[in-house]
Amino acid sequence: MAANNYYDPADLRKFGNITEWSKELGEKFFDYYGKVFEEGALTAREKALIALAVAHTEQCPYCIDAYTKDSLQRGVTKEEMMEAIHVGAAIKSGATLAHGVMMMNKVNKLEM
């Protein structure tokens, strides 16, 4: 942690260090992580865009940094990146609003 900030961009480079304090679990995680992003039924490019959208809904600065760069490396355009983020935002707000039904149910149950 930097002196005056919780987040330091340079810490992203140290992500791999988490293995130092728990070798087996760290290595299992990174094996899994690497495998997930390989070309499969989805292309690595499609996966980068999903990761970018999720990085925003999770509001993880490290992930936003990493997957913006990753998307650029894969030739993803700015328009595609922004659309992906809107998908994340729509699901996030949709999820909030869909819970409104729960509120409505509760009100209907409690009120005479």
Partner 1 sequence: MLKEKKKKQQSLHKRDSEYAVANKQLEKLSNGIFASGELPTFSEKIKETGQFPLRPNKLEILQINVGYMCNQVCEHCHVDAGPDRKEIMTRKTMMQCLDVIRNTGAHTLDLTGGAPEMNPDFRWFVDEASKAGIKDFIVRSNLTIIRANKKYYDLPDFFKSHNVHVVSSMPHWTRGKTDKQRGEGVFDLSIRALQELNAVGYGMPDSDLRLDLVYNPSGAYLPGDQASMEKDFKKALLEDFGIRFHNLFAITNLPVARFLDYLIASENYEDYMYQLVEAYNPAAVKNVMCRNTISISWDGYLYDCDFNQMLELKVASKIQHISEYNEDILNDRNIIISQHCYGCTAGAGSSCQGSVTE
Please state the φ and ψ torsions of residue 65, each to the nearest 5 degrees: -55, -50
Q: Contacting partner 1 (CB under 8 A), which of 30, 50, 74, 92?
A: 74
Least CB distance from residue 75 to partner 1, whole Å?
Answer: 6
The residue among 20 and 111 lying less far from partner 1, judged by its C-beta, is 20
Interface mask toward partner 1 for 78-107; x: CB under 8 A: x-----------------------------
Using CB under 8 A as the binding rule, whether residue 18 contacts partner 1 is answered as no
**Tokens 């997930």, residue located:** 36
The answer to the question of residue 14 lying near partner 1 (CB under 8 A) is: no
Phi-psi label, residue 100: left if phi above 0, alpha if psi -120 to 50, beta otherwise = alpha
35's tokens: 């495998």
d(CA 79, CA 108): 43
Min dist CB 38 to partner 1, Å, is: 11
Find the distance separating the first CA and the last CA of the chain, reported in whole Å. Answer: 54
CA-based torsion, 68, 72, 75, 80: positive or negative:
positive
Of the candidates 75, 96, 100, 111, which one interacts with partner 1 according to CB under 8 A?
75
Residues at the contact surface with partner 1, assessed by CB under 8 A: 13, 39, 43-45, 69, 72-75, 77-78
